[in-house]
Chains A and B, each alone.
Chain A
């Protein structure tokens, strides 16, 4: 057919790996230690844990380093690591009401149950690139640490004991202002790593997909529903935005009681939607839920908004399929990048059909037996 298949083979792969290794070995600066990554780039580590679906900061840091800082590649390494591990047990259901908050804001309500706790956030800090000399910047940081605000310090000090505020949603429920969406038809959370999530899989599957989804994919889908051709989001107000620690318990194999085996940090969001549809209860609000591993408010907010948007969307609306099928970072990136693979035969078969089509078109009267 005139195509010469370019052969790369194992030698080329080994050479490519060698180039990566050599660049690492020959870089002039010191090797990045794992604690540097977890302490200096904690939000990147959190994203890798969230999109990788595994809570382990050192492993996420290791993955980030190995992936040269590429978050999707790092999440891939974490997921691949998961594939090597046997599933020995499921944890007990964790009650998010037990979340020990490091940060908690309630944009909808000035005086919610429990405190408004700004915590650590860049939200109100001017985004100005600090161009001061390295030494000066480090001195300033050290000085700031020495004179830290007492209240801030206390907000996260473990000696205070857990900080577990109530919820705005409880106020709304008591006031009969919230639709009760607690339901019995989805009692056990779907494990999307064992049962592939498909449209119709239920809310727990959808939430699990979004909890592992790529942050940018959720943000894009959210914005598409605000300003794009889809129009499923309208008047969303955030009820809760929280970042905190949540205990994880498993049932002990001998004593058969839940035992707390550790803690994960999570971001949790409740999004209140004004019910304004003609067939909805206009006297009430409805609430969407978002929760993901690590500190990632952008992701959890998009997730909570999209959760309620799906609940309210018409049964034939494509939003659910978009969420469940298109937001996984590994799926999307892997498939996109597979376009780099050789497609010699695939393309040749396209050329063959075009040639055949032209041949048939050039024939004066194509007869059925030629139509193959």
Chain B
């Protein structure tokens, strides 16, 4: 096979807007499978540069593009808004890249990409929630060094997180964490729940739907 033959398919002018090559999608799906198998563990992956900037939902976008097929119906919303500018932009991008149907009704969607909210509708087992994650590391507030962070996760050593919550409660009378409330998943890994507000955290507990967290800039799923 020649180089020309190998690249020909990628230069088809009639093809849809290409955002991610198929090998990348496969790589991301494999990372997603690992992440599902080890809940709460942050799986590193070769995060690609997307048409939206890092920090603008590039991680969620990569997951959505990797997991959807032609029959999917996609909802994208941002801080609870379907009409928000970034949601509209991402929805347009996903539609032009994958040719899928889109919706604003969470109940109709098979894949819901969200920034910082969890739908208030009850979702079912056949639905996937893709969360855009700006800061995936829950322990960064108590430890800056990445070697030590990795060690703390490996050993399940979350003492300093517990202490920080305790001190917060003692000093302020309430836990002042607003978004990204730390959660222990399946008794093993602590995760940051993206910056969803704390009132959106309970619906994630033993949810029927699958929640996938994509951090593009920090290259983790």
Contact = CB atoms under 8 A, between A and B. Distances in A.
A352 B174 contact: no
Given A349-B197, A353-B174, A342 B78 contact: yes
B147 A356 contact: no
A335 B136 CA distance: 13
B89 A83 contact: no
Given A88-B6, A333-B53, A350 B178 contact: yes
B54 interface: yes
Contact of A80 (B51, B145, B176, B178): B51
Contact of B46 (A86, A196, A200): A196
Given A82-B49, A346-B195, A13 B79 contact: no
B174 A338 contact: no
Contacts of B22: 86
A335 B54 CA distance: 6
Interface in A84-112: 84-88
A353 B195 CA distance: 14
Which secondary structure dominates chain A's binding surface? helix
B88 A318 contact: no
A132 interface: no
Contacts of A345: 79-80, 116-117, 197
A149 interface: no
A204 interface: no
Contacts of A76: 49, 53
A219 interface: no
A91 B74 CA distance: 39
Nearest to A197: B219
Interface string A185-210: 00000010111101110000000000
Contact of B81 (A5, A13, A88): A5
B220 A338 contact: no
A80 B49 contact: yes
A24 interface: no
B134 interface: yes
Interface in A329-361: 330-331, 333-338, 341-346, 348-350, 352-353, 356-357, 360-361
A338 B175 CA distance: 27
A65 interface: no
Contact of A87 (B23, B134, B197): B23
Interface residues of B, number: 62
Interface string A1-29: 00001011110110000000000000000
A10 B53 contact: no
A346 B88 contact: no
Interface residues of A, number: 56
Contacts of B198: 349
A223 B87 CA distance: 40
A316 interface: yes
A325 interface: yes
B23 A83 contact: no
B69 interface: no
Nearest to A88: B6
Contacts of A9: 83-85, 88
B206 interface: no
B84 A196 contact: no
Nearest to B78: A342
A357 B172 contact: yes
A50 to B, nearest CB: 15
Contacts of B197: 345-346, 348-349, 352
A338 B56 contact: yes
Please indicate which of the listed interface residues A13, A331, A337, A372 has the most CB atoms of chain B within 10 Å of its own CB.
A331
Nearest to A72: B53
A4 to B, nearest CB: 11
A291 B134 CA distance: 31
B105 to A, nearest CB: 17
28 contacts: A5-B84, A7-B84, A9-B85, A82-B48, A82-B49, A83-B48, A85-B10, A86-B22, A88-B7, A193-B46, A193-B48, A198-B146, A198-B150, A199-B147, A200-B146, A335-B54, A341-B56, A341-B78, A341-B85, A341-B86, A341-B115, A345-B117, A346-B195, A349-B197, A349-B199, A353-B176, A360-B173, A360-B174
Interface of A: 5, 7-10, 12-13, 76, 79-80, 82-88, 191, 193-196, 198-200, 253, 316, 318, 321, 325, 330-331, 333-338, 341-346, 348-350, 352-353, 356-357, 360-361, 366, 371-372
Interface of B: 1, 3, 6-7, 10, 18-24, 27, 44-51, 53-56, 58, 78-81, 83-86, 88-89, 92, 115-117, 134, 144-147, 150, 169, 172-179, 195, 197-199, 217, 219-220
The 4 closest A-B pairs by CB, nearest first: A334-B54, A334-B53, A338-B55, A196-B219
